[in-house]
Structure 1
Amino acid sequence: MTNLAHYDIVGSFLRPQELKQARADFEAGRIDAAALKAVEDQAIKDLVAKEEASGLLVVTDGEFRRSYWHLDTFWGFAGIEHIVRKHGYFFHDEETRPDSARVVGKIAFAGTHPDLEAFKFLKQLTAGTNLTARQSIPAPAQLYAELVRGPENVAALRKVYESDDELFTDISNAYRDLILALYEAGCRDVKLDDCTWGMVVDDRYWEQRDETEFDRDALQEIYLRLNNGALRDLPADLRVSTHICRGNYHSTWASKGGYQVVADHVFAKENVSDFYLEFDDERSGDFKPLAALPAGKRVVLGLVTSKRPELEDKATLKKRIEEASQYVSLENLALSTQCGFASTEEGNILTEEEQWQKIKLVIETAKEVWGN
């Protein structure tokens, strides 16, 4: 089982310069895949050693083998191709790179997957220790959102899937098969990263789109069906959590709005045990929507921002934890950064030293509040 504490991380870390250089060399044809993997392997070994030294009990590979937090996983499924669009996502003050994913055949887990291979290496590094190796994957709802992003993607989708029912079933089954393969490889902690709910709550986003195509309640039902369909009948000792974010690209954000709009769907009905929630500034709203959580569910409060290097005030963090405990018992709360430090390989605008200072702040504050 997962080694739970009242402090945690979301998972991605700033890529070290030698890894960035190796990826650039690989893209330019100066080194081969084996040479790139050797650099990745060493960078991940170094990272896990730093995670352990910092006092973390749950560790990740920093997502060092990925370019994106989501697209690399999508491209690993059968039936999905890597495409490049005219534009990326438009974040606040910045546009992302234009990579995307498109359906070219029936979606399935093909028996192997980059995330599975990545986890196997991480698991080797934690063997014989008290560390829990976590694998983060983008949520099934996130894949669906990418596949219906724009008329060209929708047209490609309809060439393969005439009905949404078949599409939803294949997406959920592909994910469930990946999760079970991770379990067979020794994974006992899987986290679904999910920005879809963050888009649903953003009124500005809905003002800019054609409401005749979707409505918020119908879309939430789709997202819930996709995610819960992947999480059905899983082993009892597999901890499944979700991280709900409003975008994290080079220290910028994509959406804003409190959780109230989606609380009755995702908080009340998604089949996960833990919610990692963004609460680092006013864009995330207040804690009142947490009242929709069933008893016993755990909330990891993302009160420490990963977007800026300035350290939060401990007294303020403790006060906000106390406020959240009005809706979720203190025992079922924990503290983390609001997101990872590098959802894409660009990373947020802070240094590696500042990154570890953020984690130190999380751990110290949690120990002062909960005593562990």
Structure 2
Amino acid sequence: MSTCKINPPFRAEHLGSMLRPDYLLAARKQFDKKEVTAEQLKELEDKAIAEAVKIQKEVGLKGLTDGEYRRHMFYDGFFDHLQGFEEIEHPPREIFKLYVPDISAFLAENTKPAATTLCTSKIKHVKSGYLPQFEEMKKFVEPEEFKNIKMTLAAPEWFHLRHGQYAYSKDAYSNDEEHFDDIAAAYRTELEILYNAGCRNVQIDDPLLAYFCDESMLEGMKVDGEDPAARLDAYIRLYNNCLRDRAEKCPELVVGLHLCRGNFRHSIHFSQGGYEHIAVKLFNEINVDTYYLEYDTDRCGTFEPLKELPKNKSVVLGVITSKFPELENIDALERRVREAAKIMASGSGESEQEALNRICVSPQCGFASHEEGNLLGHDDMKKKLQLVVDLSKRLL
């Protein structure tokens, strides 16, 4: 097991994406229709990012993001910049795995994805999609804050779980492991590029690992002839291969892993189930430093799985929802976090205070994983972020 770092994350965190202002949403639609230029769109993105950074600093957050304002979806920036991947418009239904919760949700509404991305030839890292975002973000913070910029990255197995054997051309790869090896090599290159530019804090956004907590998907995989445990093991190997060289090449890089249950437009979620299904492997076998876990509703289960969290790792508890404007009661939130610390301590053998020192707090997810965002306003978002900071101060 790697030697993991506790900080960052900071005691108060947010998950990256923020609500886009109306003028940015309008400009992106105009850009898609070729009614504004890339330069005009970038000017408005810069304006919006400056406003987003100002909000984060005003409420007292130290970890800073660009709100993902240069993206359409949270996972943009990796696969779309790799040689070997191709966007497929109007993909056939049969290439989708119907047991994946978000796929089944879309198809239940007779909504077929307009496009997807498949691997059609050998994978090669030819261009970083994240580096320009990181370099641009530097313009909005002081040099001493560069290390506090958090870059959110796509999960390496994103398209594989959705498509299984259809995820890659058999002319390019004869099996999953060959395919995963080249994804991991590209991921290592991406991390090294970001690190050399000054990035020290990345968060991998992965709804798919949380899907392994959902009984309906596990049963669906078995019906389809898949072994959920073997698939999870394969994805853990993929993760560790992606992060294989960071101790030597990126020694100060802190890597967080966010498990999401769906944060689609208009506050939709896709899956449920407690972390007990995957906790032992999740916390002990994946070589990341911290875990961003959703804990805003009962569908996330109890804190009991936190007993499995090793002492050299930290956790960010998403006890505040980003989906709706109602503010949680801060006294109740504090009690919940202290309950989590007590449970962690019972598993690790440390004191409750020592366990509490490894806990940070955040909203359960970003405010706009998809550009259309959740069902709350900008003032509501700022109040939620302020609540995160106020809660964190109670835990000092």
Same fold by TM-score greater than 0.5: yes
Superposition deviation, residue 225 in structure 1? 0.8
Counterpart in the other structure of 1:27: 32
CA RMSD of aligned residues (A): 2.1
Contact 1:240–1:272 under 8 Å retained in 2: yes
Match of 2:68 in 1: 63
SS of the residue corresponding to residue 58 of structure 1 reads coil
The share of aligned pairs that are identical, in percent, is 35
Is the aligned partner of 1:109 residue 2:125? yes
Post-superposition shift, 1:368? 1.6
SS where residue 59 of structure 1 aligns?
Answer: coil
Work out whether 1:236 is the aligned partner of 2:248: no
Query: Mapping of 1:65-84 within 5 angstroms?
Result: 65-84=70-89
Task: Report the Cα offset of residue 215 of structure 1.
Answer: 1.3
Q: Per-residue deviation at 1:189?
A: 0.4
Q: How many residues align?
A: 365
Change (3 A) 1:86 1:158: closer
Rounded Cα–Cα distance in structure 2 between residues aligned with 1:124 and 1:91 = 40
Counterpart in the other structure of 1:186 = 198
2:214 — aligned with what?
Answer: 202
Structure 2 counterpart of 1:17? 22
Letter in 2 for 1:65: R
Structure 2 residue 103 is matched with structure 1 residue 89: yes
Separation in 2 of the partners of 1:285 and 1:98? 33
- 1:101 touches 1:146 (CA, 8 Å); kept in 2? no
The match for 2:351 is: none
Instruction: Determine if contact 1:91/1:253 at 8 Å carries over to the other structure.
Output: no
Deviation of 1:195 after TM superposition, in Å, equals 1.1
Structure 2 residue ranges without an equivalent (≥5): 94-101, 345-354
Counterpart AA for 1:323: E
Q: Which amino acid aligns with 1:176?
A: R
The question of whether the paired residues in 1 share the 8 Å contact of 2:123 and 2:183 is answered with yes
Question: What amino acid sits opposite 1:263 in the alignment?
Answer: A
Query: Is the alpha carbon distance of 1:99 and 1:344 closer, same or farther for their aligned partners in structure 2, counting shifts above 3 Å?
Result: farther
Task: State the 1:366 CA deviation.
Answer: 1.1
Which letter does structure 1 place at the counterpart of 2:391? T
Match of 2:309 among 290, 293, 298: 293
Alpha carbons of structure 1 residues 366 and 11: separation in structure 2 relative to 1, 3 Å:
same
Kept after mapping to 1: 8 A contact 2:118/2:159: no
DSSP-derived class of the 2:299 partner? helix
- Deviations, residues 166-217 of structure 1 (Å, cap 9, x unaligned): 1110011111110111111110001111111111111112333454532121
Query: Does 1:254 find its partner at 2:270?
Result: yes
Distance 2:216 2:13 in 1: 31
The counterpart of 2:363, out of the listed 324, 333, 337, is 337
Q: What residue number does 2:350 align with?
A: none
Q: 1:27 to 1:282 in 2, by over 3 A?
A: same
Using a 3 Å threshold, how does the CA distance of structure 1 residues 203 and 4 change in structure 2: closer, same or farther? closer
The answer to whether the 8 Å contact 1:176/1:230 transfers is yes
Corresponding residue to 2:45 among 30, 40, 62: 40
Partner of 2:229: 217
1:269, distance to aligned residue in structure 2 (A): 1.0
C-alpha displacement at 1:97, in angstroms? 5.3
Deviation per CA, 1:277-332: give whole Å up to 9, x if none: 00000111001111111112101000000111110111110111011002330010
Q: Which amino acid aligns with 2:67?
A: G
CA–CA separation in structure 2 for the residues paired with 1:258 and 1:321: 17
2:391 match: 365
Among candidates 243, 266, 278, match of residue 282 of structure 2: 266
In 1, Cα distance between the equivalents of 2:187 and 2:163?
15
SS in 2 for 1:300: strand
**Matched-pair contact (CA < 8 Å) for 2:221–2:227:** no
Identify unmatched segments of 5+ residues in structure 1: none
Bigger mean CA deviation after superposition, 325-334 or 297-306: 325-334
Q: Which amino acid is the alignment partner of residue 67 of structure 1?
A: H
Deviates more, 1:59-68 or 1:287-296: 287-296
Instruction: Go from structure 1 to structure 2 and tell me whether the alpha carbon gap of 1:179 and 1:143 turns closer, same or farther (over 3 Å shift).
Output: farther
**Alignment CA distance shift 1:194-1:183 (3 Å):** same
1:261-286 alpha-carbon deviations (Å, 9 max, x no partner)? 11121111111111000000011100
Amino acid across the alignment from 1:39: L
Which residue number corresponds to residue 354 of structure 1? 380
Hey, what does 1:124 align to over in structure 2? 139
- Does the CA-based 8 Å contact 1:79-1:104 persist in structure 2? yes
The 3-state SS of whatever aligns with 1:140 is: coil
Paired letter, 1:34: E
> Structure 1 residues 173 and 138 mapped into 2: Cα distance closer, same or farther (>3 Å)?
same
For the pair 1:175 / 2:164, whether they are aligned, the reply is: no
After superposition, the C-alpha distances for 1:44-93 in whole angstroms (9 at most, x for unaligned) are 12211221122110000111111111144321221111223367734498
| Residue 284 of structure 1, aligned match among 300, 303, 307 | 300
